[in-house]
Amino acid sequence: MKKRRVTHRIWVKYRYGVLHAHSVRPEGKAPLDAVYGHVRQNMSGEFTKRELEDVPSGGETTWINDVRQQRRDMLNEGLLIRCDEGVFAAE
């Protein structure tokens, strides 16, 4: 499977999903599993065929990998803060 180029539209879509997942939780805190569940529930109708497939290296669905990477980027940009092991909060 060929590695895909992630578009700006995809990153914006997941950034919104991650921020929304945090906004509906008490104190804006959300463990990663809660973020995945929120994105799956609210955005699954928007997933492309490619997003539903595993990443080229295998073992993980593409949309899950994208959400995790977007959440990490948001942490690095200061939009999220680490408040407990595996739990981030909206800043």
Question: Domain range for residue 40?
Answer: 8-90
Helix orientation angle between 32-43 and 8-23, rounded to the nearest 10 degrees: 110
- Quote the CA–CA distance of 34 and 48 in Å, as a whole number: 21
**Helix H or strand E encompassing 80:** strand 80-84
Confidence of residue 39 (pLDDT cuts 50, 70, 90): very high
- Report if residue 1 sits inside a domain: no
- pLDDT tens digit sequence for 46-80: 888 989 999 988 889 999 999 998 988 988 998 88
- Report if residue 80 sits inside a domain: yes
The CATH number of whichever domain residue 21 belongs to comes to 1.10.10
Based on the structure, what is the number of domains in the chain?
A: 1
AA identity, residue 43: M
- Report if residue 2 sits inside a domain: no
Sign of the CA dihedral 41, 44, 12, 31?
positive
Cut 0.85: pTM above it: no
